[in-house]
Structure 1
Amino acid sequence: MRITLRQLQVFQTVCEQRSYSRAAELLALTQPAVSQQIRQLEELLEQPLFEYVGKKLYLTHAAEYLRSTAKDVFQRFDVLDMQLSELSGTLKGELRIAAESSAKYVLPHIIAEFQRLHPNITPILNVFNRAQLLRRLNDSRDDLVIMTDVPSEMALEFMPFLSNPIVAVVNSDHPLLQITPLTLQHLADYTLLQREIGSGTRRASELFCQQKHLQFNSFVEFNSSEAQREGVSAGLGIAFLPRYCAFRELQAGSLRELQLKELPIVRSWCLVHPQQRHLSPAAQAFEDFIVQQRQLISRIAAKFAVIAAS
């Protein structure tokens, strides 16, 4: 077979975009050029790769097999590039990290410290909710994933490295702040501001409420922790938020953390990757950094924790 890397790149982009026209835009090609590359691949494989059902583009079984192979090929070239850079005495290349949205406040500080040691590695950080991360893990799309609540049914390697406390917050003049002693059942009279289905924070708070038999009568849903936080500030209700997410507002006093013996909900962020995925030198360097620099990571996290608790 005389399959070229360019053909695989075009094919991979069409798979990701599920569109010839969007793939052409991303690759700076014309749509006929993309179609020609796919047609040449189909001739080499003697199998159709895509089919339309209505207006939607679907992958055939042959395309699924080729997609898996193409992913492996490009990953191996990434590893080769980094290995060659190691031989020259400089570790360089891209490091693709996908993280739960609650990690995006602390993670840039950790990455900054890592890059001081490895200035030629280019981190690429993308933030998703838990459901999206699970799909990306299943497709092995990232070098490393940072998430809580690692699913046991998937073949994953994971390493816990930092706690992610989830607290109940209200605005600064909320009536609950005047109740002593405050209990969980006092919260049930107010509206719960929650994240969208698929969010790790929502999953954790729902499990907590089930375990504590805490039932709210009204809800408002937001698709980001920032909007959720603003909803609390506006007086819409109560929210369970990662403390890191609200630390600036807690420091300023515009939001207040409810003091309850059952809280915070403590979960751990984990460094995760599929068991079958061979770590690139850059990913291995980041994993080694997390293991070797626990004290540094704790000091970074402590800045947020002290501010939030003050």
Structure 2
Amino acid sequence: MRKSLMRMTLRQLQVFRSVCEQRSYSRAAEDMALTQPAVSLQIRQLEELVGQPLFDYIGKKLYLTDAAEALQRASADIFGRLESLDMQLADLQGSLQGQLSLAVESSAKYLIPHLFAAFRRDYPEVGLQLVVVNHAQAVRRLSANRDDLLIMSQVPADMALEFLPFLNNPIIAVASPDHPLCAREQLSLQDLTAWPLLLREAGSGTRQAGEEYCHQKRAHFPQTLEVGSTESQLEGVIAGLGLALLPRHAVRRELQSGALCELPVGELPLLRSWCVVHPRGKYLSPVAQAFFAFVRNRRSEINALAERFAAAAPGSTPGS
């Protein structure tokens, strides 16, 4: 190892990480409660130790060099290990403490707070940093090792990942309650294609799963409307703009209140599994290990929680 690297300080790495996150020396100075010259000095000293420039300015925008990206990954590992040490020391004192960094696909955001609340009853001193992303963003975060754990429904087969399926994620067809299809007792996917289908943005896991399944069943929708979120899909369907394929967990309140109608489509629900995922070989903090073990060992409790949480409209059976 280069002797110069041994002279790096944690403070320098903290300043460096702030500049990386803020993409600005001045905003990093505000974040770190330092002056801008002090930030510049810390980065300059760090560049001397590394032996390469860390940032480039192009068109008044700050970009990370290859050396900076390598240092960013190393610093994330260093601070992750320190946080893990803090958790282990707390564990030795008889309590698990620390923060779980968790990324979830957006259609799971309705359920995961309830799941974490159940986990926190066992570990009341654990905090949560929750990031909601679409499927494409989740894959990028896995590649960059940004989070302790991710929860997603379609695990990429071309990545070296450890994953644990823990809960069914049923995708159903919904319409506004006054839609003509709601009066039908039995439908096929093909019956839905005469109406517009509201879709999430490209990169959404629910959209990808729905499109692949409809293609497999030869149900082609000539009219589609793209919206930017599950909430927009819900409002669009309620407003009568069309139909949507959505996770039952995400529409439970609207089904219970009668604001939406679940269509009796013979080929649905489309069943996918929620999985807790991390890169293979990743060092898991004690908090992440505890959460992974909770999901693995408490399946019956999680299923019961999901059934209460995702109860379907009156008269239908949850999870059917």
Q: CA deviation at 1:180?
A: 5.2
Secondary structure of the residue aligned to 2:41 is helix
What does 1:108-119 align with in structure 2 at a 5 Å threshold? Answer: 108-119=113-124
Cα distance in 2 for partners of 1:203, 1:13 equals 35
Contact 1:165 1:264 in 2 (8 A): yes
Q: Deviations over 1:62-83 (max 9, x none)?
A: 1122112111111110111111
Q: CA deviation at 1:50?
A: 0.8
Q: Structure 1 residues 141, 181: CA separation in 2 closer, same or farther (over 3 Å shift)?
A: closer
Q: If the length of structure 1 is used for normalisation, what is the TM-score?
A: 0.96
CA RMSD across the alignment: 1.5
Partner of 2:141: 136
Secondary structure of the residue aligned to 1:307 is coil
Q: CA deviation at 1:281?
A: 0.4
Q: Structure 1 residues 90, 13: CA separation in 2 closer, same or farther (over 3 Å shift)?
A: same
Contact 1:106 1:300 in 2 (8 A): no
Partner of 2:21: 16
Cα distance in 1 for partners of 2:189, 2:88 equals 54
Partner of 2:292: 287
Output the amino acid matched with 1:195: R
Contact 2:166 2:295 in 1 (8 A): yes
What does 1:290-305 align with in structure 2 at a 5 Å threshold? Answer: 290-305=295-310
Matched, 1:208 2:213: yes
Output the amino acid matched with 1:247: R
Partner of 1:174: 179
Output the amino acid matched with 1:214: A
Q: CA deviation at 1:31?
A: 2.9
Cα distance in 1 for partners of 2:259, 2:41 equals 59
Q: CA deviation at 1:139?
A: 1.0
Contact 2:103 2:149 in 1 (8 A): yes
Output the amino acid matched with 2:182: L
Percent identity (aligned) = 57
Output the amino acid matched with 1:76: R
Cα distance in 2 for partners of 1:102, 1:300 equals 17
Segment drifting more, 22-31 vs 122-131:
22-31
For structure 1, the residue ranges without an aligned partner over 5 or more in a row are none
Matched, 1:183 2:188: yes
Partner of 2:64: 59
Segment drifting more, 45-54 vs 180-189:
180-189
Q: CA deviation at 1:56?
A: 2.8
Cα distance in 1 for partners of 2:241, 2:37 equals 52
Matched, 1:4 2:17: no
Cα distance in 2 for partners of 1:25, 1:227 equals 36
Q: Deviations over 1:128-183 (max 9, x none)?
A: 11111111111111111000110011111100000111111000000112345422
Q: CA deviation at 1:198?
A: 0.9
